[in-house]
Amino acid sequence: MNVRGYARYAEVFSRVYRESGSIEIALEVYETYRAREDLARPKRVDFAQRILQVSASLFCVPPKRILERNRHRDVTSARYVAAWLLSRRRWSTVKIGTLLDLDHSTVLHGLRRVAGDNDLLLAAHKAEQLLELDEDAASSR
C-alpha cells in the first residue's frame, strides 16, 4: 500500500472518530471501508500463467501440459511460443527455463525454432495480440 492509501484510511478513521467519539465505531467503519475496497479491487492474474493459457489455447492443449514432460509437437510448440512471449518481456532464459522446467539451452532452441518457423512466429504474434487485448481490457476497468 502506498502513502496515499494510508492517508485515505487515516482520514476516514479520524473523521469517524471525530463524529462518534468512539474508537470502536471508528475501527469498525475503517475495517468495513477496507473490506469494501478489497472486494472492488480487480484480482490480478499472474502474467506468466496468462501467457501459458494463451499459448496453450492456440495449440488446443491444456495449459498444465506445457509444464509436463511431453515431447508432442503441439505441446512443444505451445511451450516455445510461451518462452518467446516471456523473452519479449525481458525474461532471461534461465528464468523461463525455471518456469517451464527446462534447461536454458532448450529455451534457446525453442526461441530459435519460433524465429525460424513462420507458422510458430505467426502463432506467437497472435498470442501477443491476445495478451495486449487482455491488458487493454484490464486497464479500462
Q: Spell out the domains of the chain, with CATH numbers in brackets.
A: 3-40 (no CATH), 47-139 (1.10.1750.10)
71: its cell numbers = 515431447
Distances in Å between the Cα of 11 and the Cα atoms of 43, 67, 75, 117, 141 are 26, 47, 53, 58, 26
Q: Across the 141 residues of the chain, what is the mean pLDDT of every consecutive 10-residue run?
A: 72 87 86 77 73 94 93 96 95 94 95 96 93 70 54
Q: What is the pTM of this model?
A: 0.67
> Distance (Å, rounded) from C-alpha 51 to C-alpha 131?
7
What pLDDT, on a 0 to 100 scale, did the predictor assign at position 26?
85
Query: In sequence order, what are the residues at sequence separation of 6 or more whose Cβ sits closer than 8 angstroms to the Cβ of residue 86?
Result: 48, 51, 95, 96, 99
Under DSSP, the state recorded for 66 is: H
Please list the alpha-helical segments (H only) found in the chain. 3-20, 23-40, 47-58, 63-66, 73-88, 93-100, 104-116, 118-139
